[in-house]
Structure 1
């Protein structure tokens, strides 16, 4: 890690959620781990995000990230602008003592951006995990999808036309290029592989599958359930654990009943890091049927536990989180997905070899390296001097 020469920067992250939010996911893990690395480099990091029931309005994490929670999932965008402007003008309870004057804003676009260049008086980086073209209709329906897609593909491109972009995969950088964002303005900073909680859990004695995901429509957990139903005749002891929570759970439970696989599926709900580690180590195969991922953090988490994953070829960054045919399998449609799972369950040697390769692949991605890349970009954008050891990280 390169420590900072000269005064640290104050970096303000604007994100709709934090990792403690019940709806938090991989995007939130990425933001906070990068923020932690920036603190380790000598910078200050503040995260402004939405509140949720029972959450304190302000706290500082053990790693030194200051978290301010304002508004809810729909109003956090406006509240972020008001908090920033109050700090700049120096009045009111939301003023400088709460936020201060950041040197850089990292505006996290999860479909809807904060549009911070419209009011910010500092440098702005926009962080895009993936483009949501396919997800808008699933989440909002036809009319809402048109509005969401116009904001993401047209309005945002104009608002951020002078800003540096960061994304988490080459696949997303290519998608941004299709929208008209010059690839030279986009830096790829991969996710690190999260540490797996230590444990001695062994593989289940029966064929077992794992889905680790938020339970929302675009994660397409239905495909995992359909896979279990199709493979059950060939693997009578087959079981699936679904770890995660979300508002789509009721529909998924109804589908379990419709498919008559109640005795094969367990909804684990929220799991602790220790429980997650045990699940990853015990499963034979992990499933990521998601419509789109910027990277696929759970894929490399599974890989770290020696568990191969089956996902979809056209789901964005998963094609980089998985080395197809070596660390996992990428399917072209649902039938191909089911057959990929069947192959891994049926061939012990193939599955175990792929698990070892997945573990080696996951080890290549570290948060320390990602932090070096992002910290160097912070200096470059705010007029500092990038450290020589990390200059290459600025290349798109």
Structure 2
């Protein structure tokens, strides 16, 4: 099996979608599949490597990765290709001689202009919304939330061809941290424009008068880091905001464990692994209703709260800070729910789609 993906978790811009791909790949490799991930090259890992039973081939840069992926599909002659579409497809049906599964975490309508500007953003959205659904019209789709499944249907991808295979969750490591005595907000994720970490900073600015000891910790790195730091300076919050950048997995969990409320102000998420990681530590999250899969990773009013806009997000955060009993109850409900998500279940469901696709292809070849 060949998975073609833009990045891997070792990449400086790797995130939750890359973690999903690698956990699935590792799970399938442990079950006897020969699994290769083809992704972009970077200076944090070698061009060729085998990790946890999975072969990594890192070739090409930000754009060259697409050409290199097509070469890999052609030359490696896999039995099945998983084409991971982070907005831009790899066009693998053009060269594949085997079944192709399209894995889409979320639809990128809102991200295109934020990342590439209005002109190139329209081109990117045209490729994602018009070209890709036509090119992959005979392919099975996988996604991680019902919301994305519905959005794909809006682009012409039949729900009958789309299977929801939800994220798993790594068990949190033991931590020494306890809940901080003073209120702490936390954001975990890549620091890029569409994650809108500035909204968390603005919410903090609106609340400091009511909560003079309130702080914000931002865990994650990305090319938007300097812009975010400048926004913090303009809001005169440098003494209240800690931009941790990249931290180890253990340190990330220590920070989550001492936090009061996790914020996910992203434009769009396929699911929201950070939301579930926070929940595993009894920390409720606040996110936006219209941000895709976060409306499913958060059970509104039970494990966290969903907001309509920045003002509402600020009110919801204030509500959780003001009501410790409800905050703790949501945290415990989230902790219990997070325990139900395991990567083995994700791999089970993924493998089922894989087997069905292979069986269908075998029957078609016998006709």
TM-score computed with the length of structure 2 as normaliser: 0.97
Q: Which secondary structure state, in structure 2, belongs to the residue aligned with residue 383 of structure 1?
A: helix
In the TM superposition, residue 83 of structure 1 has moved relative to its aligned partner by: 2.7
Q: Which secondary structure state, in structure 2, belongs to the residue aligned with residue 262 of structure 1?
A: coil
Q: Which secondary structure state, in structure 2, belongs to the residue aligned with residue 190 of structure 1?
A: coil
1:339 paired to 2:315: yes
Q: 2:295 aligns with which of 312, 315, 319?
A: 319
Quick one: distance in 1 between partners of 2:101 and 2:352?
13
Contact 1:124-1:163 within 8 A present in 2 as well:
yes
Quick one: distance in 1 between partners of 2:174 and 2:66?
38
Contact 1:70-1:79 within 8 A present in 2 as well:
yes
Q: Which secondary structure state, in structure 2, belongs to the residue aligned with residue 382 of structure 1?
A: helix
Quick one: distance in 1 between partners of 2:128 and 2:257?
38
Q: Which secondary structure state, in structure 2, belongs to the residue aligned with residue 172 of structure 1?
A: helix
Quick one: distance in 1 between partners of 2:257 and 2:126?
42
Per the alignment, do residues 249 and 124 of structure 1 end up closer, same or farther by CA in structure 2, a change over 3 Å counting? same
Task: Give the CA RMSD over aligned residues.
Answer: 1.1
Quick one: distance in 2 between partners of 1:268 and 1:283?
14
Contact 2:268-2:291 within 8 A present in 1 as well:
yes
Q: Which secondary structure state, in structure 2, belongs to the residue aligned with residue 176 of structure 1?
A: helix
1:338-361 deviations in Å (ceiling 9; x for gaps) = 000001111111110000001111
In the TM superposition, residue 195 of structure 1 has moved relative to its aligned partner by: 2.1
Q: 2:193 aligns with which of 198, 203, 217?
A: 217
Moved over 3 A (4+): none
> What's the counterpart of residue 268 of structure 1?
244
Quick one: distance in 1 between partners of 2:257 and 2:279?
10
Q: 1:84 aligns with which of 73, 82, 105?
A: 73
Contact 2:191-2:222 within 8 A present in 1 as well:
yes
Contact 2:77-2:97 within 8 A present in 1 as well:
no
Quick one: distance in 2 between partners of 1:13 and 1:77?
12
Q: Which secondary structure state, in structure 1, belongs to the residue aligned with residue 13 of structure 2?
A: coil
1:289-326 deviations in Å (ceiling 9; x for gaps) = 00000101100111011110000000000010000000
> What's the counterpart of residue 364 of structure 2?
none
1:36-84 deviations in Å (ceiling 9; x for gaps) = 11112221110000011243000000x2010000001111000111233
Per the alignment, do residues 36 and 205 of structure 1 end up closer, same or farther by CA in structure 2, a change over 3 Å counting? same
Quick one: distance in 2 between partners of 1:199 and 1:254?
32
In the TM superposition, residue 376 of structure 1 has moved relative to its aligned partner by: 1.3
**What count of residue pairs does the alignment treat as equivalent?**
361
Contact 1:193-1:304 within 8 A present in 2 as well:
no
Per the alignment, do residues 179 and 77 of structure 1 end up closer, same or farther by CA in structure 2, a change over 3 Å counting? same
1:73-108 deviations in Å (ceiling 9; x for gaps) = 1110001112332x2xxxxxxxxxxxx431100000
1:156-213 deviations in Å (ceiling 9; x for gaps) = 0111000000000000000001111110000000000222121121011100010001
> What's the counterpart of residue 365 of structure 2?
none
1:307 paired to 2:283: yes
Quick one: distance in 2 between partners of 1:316 and 1:114?
23
> What's the counterpart of residue 90 of structure 1?
none
1:104-126 deviations in Å (ceiling 9; x for gaps) = 00000000010100000111000
1:177 paired to 2:153: yes
Quick one: distance in 2 between partners of 1:42 and 1:321?
31
Quick one: distance in 1 between partners of 2:43 and 2:342?
33
> What's the counterpart of residue 64 of structure 2?
75
Quick one: distance in 1 between partners of 2:155 and 2:71?
30
> Structure 1 regions of 5+ residues with no counterpart?
1-10, 88-99, 386-396
Contact 1:191-1:365 within 8 A present in 2 as well:
yes
> What's the counterpart of residue 235 of structure 1?
211
Contact 1:196-1:273 within 8 A present in 2 as well:
no
Q: 1:188 aligns with which of 164, 181, 186?
A: 164
Contact 1:299-1:322 within 8 A present in 2 as well:
yes
Quick one: distance in 1 between partners of 2:153 and 2:81?
22
Task: Describe how 1:1-396 pairs up with structure 2 within 5 A.
Answer: 11-61=1-51, 63-85=52-74, 87=75, 100-383=76-359
Quick one: distance in 2 between partners of 1:217 and 1:194?
27
Contact 1:239-1:264 within 8 A present in 2 as well:
yes
